[in-house]
Structure 1
Amino acid sequence: MITPEFLLTALIVVMIPGTGAIYTLSCGLSRGRAAAMAAVAGCSFAVLFHMAAALAGLAAILHASAVLFQAVKFAGVAFLLWMAWTTLRESGALSAPAAVAEQGLRRIATRAVLINLLNPKLAIFFAAFLPQFVQPGPGATVQMAILGLVFTALTAAVFAVYGLFAASARDWILASETAMAWMRRAFAACFAGLGLRLALAER
């Protein structure tokens, strides 16, 4: 069940930068370690939700229904474009750790959850990817759950590395207003690009 092939494939999939990874990096760079870990928690929770949806058969429904797929997809596109706009509009110094506490890490985690929940490709990926490593039989559901938990753990670990690495570069970013401005533009462009890619995605 948990074969080297599964672990290697899952690790490669997780390491490919997507919306969750980009958001975690942006939180680490702009707000520090605590914010990055909040983003990791939110992204991981969304992965668990998609796993549960796959087990319940909701991913198959999403795959079968063109209308539902398009609705979820364009909700995700709108959210990513909104993220791009708000990132680009930010000005001034980046948030200090105290400011993060005042603003609340819950909002960061909530955004991370929404970013991954509003990606229908992730739900369909779960429905198509995990069954390849499940042995047919009465324990198939349990196997799916275990594989999903392992995938979630890998996601959390890789995203945590991304977030902590970004947070370690935060002092250098804070020291340069030019670097801050270009960082905002880069992340805004990433969110917009990911939104465009999602808009063009087919089932």
Structure 2
Amino acid sequence: MSVEFLLTTLVVVVTPGTGVIYTMAAGLARGTRAAVVAAFGCTLGIIPHMLAAITGLAALLHASALAFQILKYLGVAYLVYMAVSTLRDKGALTVERDDTPRSARKVILSGVLVNILNPKLTLFFFAFLPQFVHTGASSAVPQMLLLSGVFMLVTFLVFVGYGRFAAAMRNQVLSRPKVLTWMRRVFAGAFVGLGARLALT
């Protein structure tokens, strides 16, 4: 495993995207536990990208403009849905004083969907990951599994860090209703912005 791969992984993961936004929103909503659960869900959402790269779906998407367009606009639609949900103050993105645990299954499912449709992950697994596989090896599958596992571990740890930071700011947000309103708008705007960028890709 090369230093270049680790640095590329760190840059891709640390750069704020849909998963980071969702995890931080979960931390603001329900605290550290929810942030960890959201980070876990986002990490699980990496698996389909990994499987697609290993099984050759990348080649299909590259060859079929229709398949790529379908995937892209599904991602756009889900990001718009997340933005609307945030503005309406519903779901896992609601910041509340009640610390009653929300359904972990729902938080994980949303995290999985966020990252399944994350164009940054698609780019990483379909374009960059194969570059770090040694062509001289008898099989590329074990290497890709190892590299993907490292990427998932780094993703989980970084997202937990983002989430814990957001959870630490939760009391300040809760005590200031205007801050809460603006936070919802910022998160919603971020989802719309990411959706617009994906649509124009």
Query: What per-residue deviation string (whole Å, max 9, x for no partner) do you get for residues 110-166 of structure 1?
Result: 111111112355234202111111111213211111011001111111111000111
2:54 corresponds to: 55
Structure 1 unaligned residues grouped into runs of 5+: none
Q: CA offset at residue 62 of structure 1?
A: 1.8
1:81 aligns to 2:85 (yes or no): no
1:48-197 mapped onto 2 (5 Å cutoff): 48-90=47-89, 94=96, 96-98=98-100, 101=101, 103-136=102-135, 137-197=137-197
Aligned residues: 197
Kept after mapping to 2: 8 A contact 1:51/1:148: yes
Distance 1:67 1:95, change over 3 A: farther
How far apart in 2 are the matches of 1:185 and 1:147?
37
1:4 aligns to 2:3 (yes or no): yes
RMSD of aligned alpha carbons: 1.6
Query: Tell me, what secondary structure is at the counterpart of 1:97?
Result: coil
User: TM-score, normalization: structure 1?
Assistant: 0.91
How far apart in 2 are the matches of 1:149 and 1:34?
23
How far apart in 1 are the matches of 2:142 and 2:74?
32
How far apart in 2 are the matches of 1:64 and 1:97?
48
How far apart in 1 are the matches of 2:186 and 2:117?
22
Among all aligned residue pairs of Structure 1 and Structure 2, give the percentage whose two residues are the same amino acid: 49
* Structure 2 counterpart of 1:172, one-letter code: Q
Distance 1:176 1:120, change over 3 A: closer
User: TM-score, normalization: structure 2?
Assistant: 0.92
How far apart in 1 are the matches of 2:8 and 2:30?
31
Q: Which moved more, 1:170-179 or 1:89-98?
A: 89-98
Structure 2 unaligned residues grouped into runs of 5+: none
2:40 corresponds to: 41
2:20 corresponds to: 21
* Structure 2 counterpart of 1:141, one-letter code: V
* Structure 2 counterpart of 1:139, one-letter code: S
Kept after mapping to 2: 8 A contact 1:60/1:124: no
Query: What per-residue deviation string (whole Å, max 9, x for no partner) do you get for residues 32-62 of structure 1?
Result: 1121111111110111221121111112212
